[in-house]
Structure 1
Amino acid sequence: MPPLDLSIGLGTSGLDDPETCTDTVAAALEAGYRHVDTAQMYDNEAAVGEGIAASDVDRDDVVVATKVHPENLAPEDVRETAHESLDRLGLDRVDLLYVHWPIRAYDAEATLPAFDDLRDAGVTDHVGVSNFTPDLLREAREILDAPIAAHQVECHPRFRQPELRALADEFDHRLVGYSPLGRGEILDDPAILEIAERNDLSPAVVALAWALDRGIVPIPKGRGDHLRENLRAVDVDLPDADLDEIDGLDPEERQIDPDDAAWNR
């Protein structure tokens, strides 16, 4: 299997209205996105699939990722619901299938071999994990036969995940950053606004350009004009001094922090 080619992606969490979701996915692909991220938890896989089908972009040119709900992580449920995800998406495979959260029905020794089985069966080309701690990440690598292709976590200029980024480099997988704009908080961050003004860019493009420069694959949400605006980050090279300034910002608390998350145990 060739390495997973991940570029900036469209995050679809919160796209609950089917028509809006379908239109947004189709518009994103027409704008130039080639990576679409969804999940069983988002309850929008069918609308995402319709957006992919409505686009003129060839399916094989798009990385489609979905995630298995934490309540569906018992082995038989993993296998059954992964096929249900394919049915909703209208696809014969996904490029990337994640463990969404290592909680609830997750049991590493039982859950992860089911993901290997799905990869062997061609249901997914690659296996990923999401919201894992460093220790859980190391454990998963030991159990899985498949290489971990991606680890998806919250990551943005005020929550930079240095340990998990270092592990991504060490283990040779991609770190995919959700909430790359900190649920909108980054857009009003004084330090980011100053850098944006210096470079005649929007704060969103600054945050996304920082992520891309640092080897993070951001998956911003966006609609309308924001889709194309966010995509501008691909062609932006921020000065080293500005990148270093972002790296030195005081870190803040997570924006996504459920009580049962693995890091809260």
Structure 2
Amino acid sequence: MIASFNLPELALFALFGLVFGSFASAVSYRLPRGEPVAVDRSRCPVCKTALSARDLVPLLSWLVSRARCRHCQAPIPWRYPLMEFALAVLFVAAGRLAHADLMMAVCLAATFLGLLVIIVTDLEAGIIPNVVLLALVPVALAYRSCLGWSLTEGALGAVFGFALPWLARAGFRRLTGRDGLGFGDVKFAALAGLYLGPGGIGPFLVVAGGLGLVMGLLWRLSGRGEVFPLGPALCVALLIAVAFPEWLSLGYPE
């Protein structure tokens, strides 16, 4: 029988997911605006009133306030409870996927948190924050260590992950005079290579490309223009790869 965390432990993962989901929503709002992440208190973006602890209870505060600021009655966007709920689900998934390995659970949870922040910032502001990519580098190294994978191969994967999209970007620009990929996408692919190694970067790019085609089509059908953020597709592809490496023929060590 495969070991796993018990129900109370998974409930604790969900609780941590709610708390870090609130943190992720604040980070994804502040980073594109150049605001300090961990120093300043949370404030209503409309009336600028500093929020107290009663305003910051994940999900519950939003429900009790009926999705409105307690001070100015401005509507509170759905992004906040959705991110809190999503990360609670993802943290529970991390606990389930880790098979009672706490370090692996932490690596997966931290990865999911970073990916969620990137998805939201790219959708809302069209950027993949460097600070989030850098924060995920030690997480990627710890992830490989948990699986017994070579750190040297991880570094080689990062090189491949950077080089292949960069060459594609340079070639597209030479042919069309336009950028087909943002440089943030190239840097993200390097991070994916660090996680997956040289053997995983090819399948990852194929999956990300397929997801990008689907998401790009939906983006255009919704009338948002021809240029669409690729970050969400890259994030979903990496999430699948780190959660189920056997799906990309990477496998877990025996």
Rg bigger for which structure? 2
Which structure is higher in strand share? Answer: 1
Instruction: Mark yes or no: TM-score above 0.5.
Output: no
Q: TM-score, normalised by structure 1?
A: 0.27
Q: TM-score, normalised by structure 2?
A: 0.28
